[in-house]
Amino acid sequence: MLKLEISNSTKDKLGKKFFEDLVVRFEKIMKKRVVEYLGKRDGAVDLVLVGDCKIRSLNRDYRKKDKVTDVISFAYLEVTDYVQAPGDVIVGDIFISIPTAKRQAKSNKHSLKKELEVLFVHGMLHLFGFDHNNDSEEKEMEGWAKKIASK
């Protein structure tokens, strides 16, 4: 089972239930992958809602890209040995820029809720080993995202 912790450093009031429902949907659809990563243990995911300045500094410091982005994920399962640690498995952190999400929602002509869903699911897929370094990986990742996203 995946547990979600949310930190919101923005002025926007966003409901935790929306993101929790996405985690349940993700876990149901990606059950095989979740079990592969966590076994029978619980996994903890931190979602941090930030502004453009914070996400730009994260992007610059960790990805060497000095520009604003929409979502950044830090997957800990691939780089540390949390499997041996007692308690919950720390899956990773997802940072989403709310101002960027708002701009993208407007540009894509859909709601902020829909944009946050897209970004959160994208971040979760990264935490569970998916990437988009080439067309094949991108197509696979998009396919899973569509299965998880609500209609």
Which of the four pLDDT bands, split at 50, 70 and 90, describes residue 65?
Answer: very high
Domain boundaries, the chain: 2-148
In this structure, the number of other CB atoms found within 10 A of the CB of residue 46 comes to 17
- CATH architecture designation of domain 2-148: 3-Layer(aba) Sandwich (3.40)
Would you state the structure tokens that stand for residue 65, as one six-digit string?
A: 């890209």
Would you state the structure tokens that stand for residue 137, as one six-digit string?
A: 């990986």
Q: What single-letter amino acid sits at 80?
A: T
Which pLDDT tens digit goes with each residue over 87-130? 678 899 999 999 999 999 999 999 998 999 999 999 999 999 89
